[in-house]
Structure 1
Amino acid sequence: MPTKRLTNGVPMDAGAIVPWGEAGWLNPPPSAEPDGASLVVTTAHGSDFWRHTGYGFVRDDGHALLAGFPAGTAVEVTFEAALTALYDQAGVLVRVDAETWVKAGVEATDGTPHLGAVVTHGTSDWSLAAVPEWAGLPVTVRVSRSGDALTVRARAADGPWRMVRLAHLAPDAAATAGPFCCSPSRGGLRVRFTRFVLGPADTGLHDAP
């Protein structure tokens, strides 16, 4: 997605860089430090987003930097991180409220990076696929909102886009979206976010961004 800066907080035609200071934190992390054009975030111990399924608990204390995400919009986030501990994770969060949200990105599971998404409408579900070849590479996650659907795609470095998930979101839902990170089994995960862009939604489910 080509990028242009925001004008009066409104994305311009081809996509707009969201300045880190113009989005709002859900659960501010222990540290979020600008480093050049990047934002380096350090997670709190045990931070996570999850509701009920399989584990029986609710966690809503992961870190997310969110901006408005209306229908007809796409969000892209690029990050770099050494995801080494169980359930270390980073990517994009789309949030309506504590019971309605989607997180998508890369997560450490069984000693291997996995690409996946958690879709939550009251309770959470989780889909994932191993991507060991993505270890050490910058990852971009893209979520496009059109009609009643969120289309989630991701890629490593400049590689091809991979379809991750098609999920429901009510067309009239007031949502926010942006980069997130969590470390359910430890504290101190450091994630370097290098890009946060809002722009127009994809033209079709099977069309490349």
Structure 2
Amino acid sequence: MSSSSIPWSKGRWTTEPIAAKDEGGILKVAAKHGSDYWEKTLYEFEHRDGHALLADWEDDRAIEVGFRLDSLTELYDQAGLMLWQGQQQWIKAGIELNDGIPHLAVVVTDGYSDWSLAPVPEWVGQEVTIRASRMKDAVIIRARSHSEGWRTVRVARYPYATGNQAGPFLCAPTRDGLEVAFTRWVRTAPDAELHADPPTED
């Protein structure tokens, strides 16, 4: 099954960013200060104003989003891939800056959010790809940097049969001035199995 790029113009924003500009196939997006996604857990607040560019996501296709890390410099700066079923059922997976170090971060939300983190200091300044592939009632989330192969980040419950959307996202919870360059948005072949890496395409 061949890969196909999704034009930036085919997506719809959950919340409009400050600016979004296609520069030679690279989408540069400026986030609003205070933008985020989170539901209740620990902090008790509900943030639903992050910026996600979404298009339909079919069960028989994996989805990949690529972006550059050089602009993630402040606490909680984040970008990656959003999987969207609804305002309280979604998964965001990507890179989030914590204590000056980029972390692979996944938030799984079904009414309440959870949060998992794994530091990747060796990825500073690189281009990163986040991938999601459905399998039965779950989604397999993987990530790779430009210089490394795939890492399996998480297997999470995602049982929704219809109405799924996916695409790039970014949030700037603590500051003005975050601009992220997204380099690719692709539908491609799904994972064959959990313990076999998908192919790498650049």
**Into which bin does the TM-score normalised by the smaller protein fall?**
over 0.9
Match of 1:157 among 136, 143, 146: 146
Q: Tell me, which stretches of 5 or more residues in structure 1 are unaligned?
A: 1-12
Alpha-carbon distance in structure 2 between the residues aligned to 1:22 and 1:105: 21
Q: Identify the residue that residue 44 of structure 2 maps to in structure 1.
A: 56
Equivalence for 2:137 = 148
Offset at 1:146? 2.2
Between the aligned partners of 1:83 and 1:168, the Cα distance in structure 2 is 28
Deviations 1:170-202 (A, max 9, x none): 141421000000000012201000100012211
TM-fit CA distance, 1:20: 0.6
Partner of 2:93: 104
CA contact (8 A) 1:78 1:141 kept: yes
User: Is 1:76 matched with 2:64?
Assistant: yes
Residue 158 of structure 1 deviates from its aligned partner by 3.7
The code of the aligned residue for 2:118 comes to A
| Aligned residue identity for 1:206 | H
Instruction: After the TM superposition, list the runs of 4 or more consecutive aligned residues in structure 1 that deviate by more than 2 angstroms.
Output: none
User: 1:5 aligns to what?
Assistant: none
Task: Letter of the 1:138 partner, please give it.
Answer: E
Distance 1:14 1:206 in 2: 21
Tell me, yes or no, if the aligned pair for 1:72 and 1:146 is still in contact at 8 Å. Answer: no
Does the CA-based 8 Å contact 1:31-1:43 persist in structure 2?
A: yes
CA RMSD of aligned residues (A): 1.0
Choose which of 2, 15, 19 in structure 2 pairs with 1:27. 15
SS in 2 for 1:67: strand
Structure-2 residue corresponding to 1:206: 195
Identical amino acids, percent of aligned pairs: 47
Between the aligned partners of 2:4 and 2:147, the Cα distance in structure 1 is 20
Normalised to the residue count of structure 1, the TM-score between the two structures is 0.92
Aligned residues: 197
For 1:161-172, list aligned pairs within 5 A. 161-172=150-161
AA paired with 1:89?
Q
Deviations 1:77-108 (A, max 9, x none): 10013211110000000010011000000000
Paired AA for residue 145 in structure 1: R
Contact 1:99 1:121 in 2 (8 A): yes
Give SS of 1:186's match: coil
- SS, match of residue 21 in structure 1: helix
1:41 corresponding residue in structure 2: 29
Residues 73 and 146, structure 1, Cα contact 8 Å, conserved in 2: no
One-letter identity of the residue aligned with 2:62: A
How far off is 1:147 after superposition?
Answer: 1.7
Inter-partner Cα distance in structure 2 for 1:189 and 1:97: 25
